[in-house]
Amino acid sequence: MSSLKEIRTRITSVKTTRQVTSAMKMVSAAKLKKAQDAILKIRPYANKMHQIVTNISSDIDENRDSVYTCLREPEKILIVLISSNRGLCGGFNLNISKKAIERVLMKYNMQYQLGDVDFLCIGKMGEKQVKIHDMKVAGSYNELLDTLNFDNVF
């Protein structure tokens, strides 16, 4: 049977754990709210992009030979790699970087051998992976999403 002192110590330990858990819950709620707000801010961009793509695709006549619709071998490749600035998102950063690098090596290997493949990295983690694989980074925008608002775009 446990002594009174052990029981009191256990009660104190449980209370401390409850306080830590409560604090973590509040921090998580704040981070979730921030993420939800960021999604709502980006929604107008997504809607505008959808509208632009719809307008462009409706204007293209499939029967005409066009610079935009003909198939050709690309000479220079620019891969836009979007990742986070920090970890804390499971395997997302590593998986998205691996897929992009794999795509370059499988589909654009000839251009890669000629040095005609560049990466435009949005986020520090993707840039880090590209540099680990000794691939060219044409540009890096690590703080882009921190100050994103509609006025900065147009």
Show me where the domains of the chain are located.
Answer: 1-71, 77-153
- Residue 150 and residue 111 in contact, taking contact as beta carbons nearer than 8 Å: no
Alpha helical stretches, state H, 3-153: 4-59, 92-107, 109-113, 124-132, 150-153
pLDDT tens, 24-77?
A: 999 999 999 998 998 898 888 889 999 998 888 777 666 566 666 677 788 899
- Catalytic residue IDs: 89
Bridge partners of 137?
119
Confidence of residue 79 (pLDDT cuts 50, 70, 90): very high
Model-level pTM? 0.58
pLDDT tens, 93-118?
A: 899 999 999 999 999 999 999 999 99
> How, if at all, do strands 77-82 and 136-140 pair?
unpaired
CATH no., domain 77-153: 3.40.1380.10
